[in-house]
Structure 1
Amino acid sequence: MNANGTRVRSFAPVAAADARALVLGSMPGEASLTAVRYYAHAQNRFWPIMGALVGAAPALPYEQRLQRLIDARIALWDVLASCERVGSLDTAIRAPQANDFAAFFAAHPQVRTVLFNGAQAETSFRRLVLPGLATPRPALLRLPSTSPANASQRPEHKLQAWREGLSAAGIALRDE
């Protein structure tokens, strides 16, 4: 439960029918839920990384950032549809309920790779979603969390890992 004692819910996916890669977080944090935007915390590295790799820079209006992801054939979502949680930490998640991935993959048949934004997203997906997915299943790749809570890795390391992950998923990256 959040500070108000209610269950928190994630957002709808951001995806075009031709998406090739799906980036999954676990559940939006409080800053994102308040702003109703993916990765809204000012210290989260997601948008700076996407800016460097596909032109979805934090300086752009939010809708333009989402369009840049769509244009790059990247879908964005969260593993969990809802959960009980106080604060924003993944370790505080209780009573998780997964999103409907069977329907998502049926509507987005070109998604061949799932890129997890951190360990909790991967763990939740493997536990709550993967057993119910039909084959063939997408390739799964955990990338370093872009969360400010993951301060143990340098920003350059995160950027390089995300560059390699998106390249492996067949996403065309900007020339830097």
Structure 2
Amino acid sequence: MALVHSFEPVIGINPRVLILGSMPGIVSLQAVQYYANPRNAFWPIMADLFAIEIDCEYQHRIDQVKQLPLVLWDTIKACHRQGSLDSSIQKHQLEANDIPDLLVQCRDIRLVACNGAASEKYFNQLVRKQLPDEIEVLRLPSTSPAHAGMSYEQKLSAWRVIRDYV
């Protein structure tokens, strides 16, 4: 069982929304890129919501996100997991990212948008009790290709809520 670590946060200008994944998948870890799997809907959703260019180098995508009032990060800092599926995460050896400290640094964040059920589950289990009640937490449909039960249009429709906070 491999020990995997998440990435550093991508912090935009005066962020008001924290978008949390659970833990990067194998494709993302190998590429050292958030949402690197080309079948993941995250970047197309960001393009539709915020008009960012996504047919470009990864660093340009990140530079564009840094101009938005968003933070990209993951709930889990380190865990043992075989493969990419959240269901393969070993629950007894989890370390959360220091989200409370991030929220001290980024005091305008009012929404934690969990990208999928696993992100929300681990956020509630590992982090939620340490945060002020005024921070709203929403579970959005996972952008992962493993979450094929919803169409892209359905996912995009649900994700539109984050624009209300920016």
Specify the alignment match of 1:166 in structure 2. Answer: 162
Cα distance in structure 2, aligned partners of 1:148 and 1:136 = 32
Cα distance in structure 1, aligned partners of 2:147 and 2:107 = 32
Deviation at 1:136, TM superposition (A): 4.3
Specify the alignment match of 2:127 in structure 1. Answer: 129
Paired AA for residue 106 in structure 2: H
Cα distance in structure 2, aligned partners of 1:136 and 1:106 = 14
Query: Structure 1: where are the runs of 5+ without partners?
Result: 172-176
- The TM-score normalised by the length of structure 1 is 0.89
Q: Aligned-pair RMSD on alpha carbons?
A: 1.2
Cα distance in structure 1, aligned partners of 2:17 and 2:137 = 10
Query: Structure 2: where are the runs of 5+ without partners?
Result: none
Please say if 1:60 is aligned against 2:56. yes
Cα distance in structure 1, aligned partners of 2:145 and 2:13 = 31
Deviations 1:58-98 (A, max 9, x none): 30221221122222211100000000000000000012110
Tell me which stretches of 4 or more aligned residues in structure 1 moved more than 3 Å: none
Secondary structure of 1:37's match?
A: coil
Deviations 1:101-123 (A, max 9, x none): 12111111011101010000001
Cα distance in structure 1, aligned partners of 2:156 and 2:13 = 27
Please say if 1:142 is aligned against 2:134. no
Cα distance in structure 1, aligned partners of 2:67 and 2:133 = 25
Secondary structure of 2:109's match?
A: coil
Are the aligned partners of 2:12 and 2:68 in contact in 1 as well (CA < 8 Å)?
no
Where is the strand percentage greater, Structure 1 or Structure 2?
A: 2
Cα distance in structure 2, aligned partners of 1:119 and 1:113 = 16
Cα distance in structure 2, aligned partners of 1:83 and 1:144 = 22
Aligned length: 164
**Identity over aligned residues, as a percent?**
42
- The TM-score normalised by the length of structure 2 is 0.94
Cα distance in structure 2, aligned partners of 1:114 and 1:137 = 11
Deviation at 1:137, TM superposition (A): 4.1
Please say if 1:151 is aligned against 2:155. no
Deviates more, 1:124-133 or 1:81-90: 124-133
